[in-house]
Amino acid sequence: MAAESLTDLTAEYQLDLLATGVILLDANLHIQALNLSAETLMEVSASRAVGSPLKELLDESNEWYPLLYQALSDNYPMVRRAIPLTTRMGQERTVDITLSPIAGTVGNRCLLVELNMVDRLQAISRDESEWQAQASLKEIMKGVAHEVKNPLGGIRGAAQLLAGELANPNLHEYTDIIISEVDRLRTLVDRMLGPRERLESELTNIHEVTEHVRQLIEAESKGKLCIGRDYDPSLPDFLADGGQLTQAVLNLVRNAWQACGSDGVITLRTRVHRQFTVGGNHHKLVCALQVSDDGPGVAKDMLPRLFLPMVTGNAQGTGLGLSIAQRIANQHGGLIQVQSVPGETCFTLLLPMETQDASD
């Protein structure tokens, strides 16, 4: 393909649909054109990048520079796996690169560079297995919860009848215990059944959700806890069930509070990821909502099972908060991920941003 036709294609945003980063370099390694994925990977806008020498945007110490010169001088395509790259902002990435020399506008040779982020591919395959595990577990949980729930009404009714028949009022203490334990069990089973199946989606402002949760928890802590904010104000509204998202974020923030106490530092952060894959599906825009805290971190042996129901490290906990939050994220086509070391725990809620109803 000639260089000028590639530039045209990029200008018409055709290449912006690719998850692969594409950069067109001239013989002096100045950027002629690049697509959206390459902008994201290099953390630079097209207006800043086009015309600039590549070394201004990617650290010259990157070990792939000799390869670029070699591909140009040999006029021969080249593929290299797992090449480390450092961006101008100091971000480390690992990419597979394909270099294809092509004919330029005035007879000069140009270089077409394709970049595939390897670390992201690894994250995608991990997401997919988590997704599958959640789906099968959900079915088992629902089955058990229904079986437990059905007889509870009968037990409660019988205890009330029995209380009415008991001549000795001292014995009411026992029927009261039966009734209150049945009620506790019913609340637990309702949580096990999880959020309602049908989402009531409407255009939702994610910052209204996070602010609502922040105010609720700060009020609950009687002003002792102060939650930090780091929002991306450019985040557009997207289709979501605001009530359910509030529940999911509330569960994450409540856990953070329990982990780090009222003196801890909790931060709510929002960002946009472009051309991002969640649960095996590729999305143009994904909202990343992070809840981070400076508590002691999640116990290492608990990390692989963290989102399973009934997994708790808390004597009073039911171990359902995270599995419910994960299920709400899944219903939105999203996912919750966790990274935790002592002093820094971060739960990231990834939500595909659909801005238009499919029925519109």
Ligand X SMILES: Nc1ncnc2c1ncn2[C@@H]1O[C@H](COP(=O)(O)OP(=O)(O)OP(=O)(O)O)[C@@H](O)[C@H]1O
Residues contributing to the site for ligand X (CB under 6 A): 251, 255-256, 259, 293, 295, 297-298, 306, 311-314, 317-323, 345
Which of Mg ion, ligand X, none binds 311 (CB below 5-8 Å, type-dependent)?
Answer: ligand X
Which one of ligand X, Mg ion, none interacts with residue 295, CB within 5 to 8 A by kind?
ligand X
> In whole angstroms, what is the distance from residue 131 CA to residue 258 CA?
27
Tokens of 153: 């009404």
Which DSSP letter does residue 296 get? S
Please choose, from the candidates 229, 287, 298, the residue with its C-alpha nearest in 3D space to the C-alpha of residue 260.
298
- Choose between 295 and 352: whose C-beta lies nearer to ligand X: 295
Q: What is each CA distance from 258 to 59, 251, 314, in whole angstroms?
A: 42, 11, 9
Partners of 96 in beta bridges: 116
How near is the Cβ of 255 to Mg ion at its closest, in Å? 4
Closest of 289, 293, 291 to residue 335, by C-alpha: 289
CA atoms within 13 A on the CB side of 117: 22
Minimum distance from residue 192 beta carbon to ligand X (Å)? 10
Kindly state the smallest distance separating residue 35's Cβ from ligand X, in Å.
Answer: 37
Q: Taking the complex as a whole, how short is the minimal distance between the CB of residue 331 and ligand X, in angstroms?
A: 17
Distance CA 54, CA 77 (A): 19
On whether the CB atoms of residues 310 and 322 are closer than 8 A, the answer is: no
Nearer to ligand X, 153 or 342 (CB): 342
Please give the residue whose beta carbon sits closest to Mg ion in the complex: 321
Whichever of 53 and 317 has its CB closer to ligand X, that residue is 317
Based on CB atoms, which residue is closest to ligand X, 166 or 226?
226
DSSP class of 302: G
Buried-exposed string 282-291: b where 16+ CB fall within 10 A, e elsewhere: ebebbbbbbb
Q: How far apart are CA 12 and CA 39, in angstroms?
A: 16
Q: For residue 358, what is the DSSP state?
A: T
**Whose Cβ is closer to ligand X: residue 6's or residue 320's?**
320
Which of 255, 275, 330, 337 is close enough to bind Mg ion by CB under 5 A? 255
Among positions 101, 104, 195, 321, the unique one binding Mg ion when judged by CB under 5 A: 321
Nearer to ligand X, 21 or 334 (CB): 334
Report the interface residues with Mg ion, using CB under 5 A.
255, 321
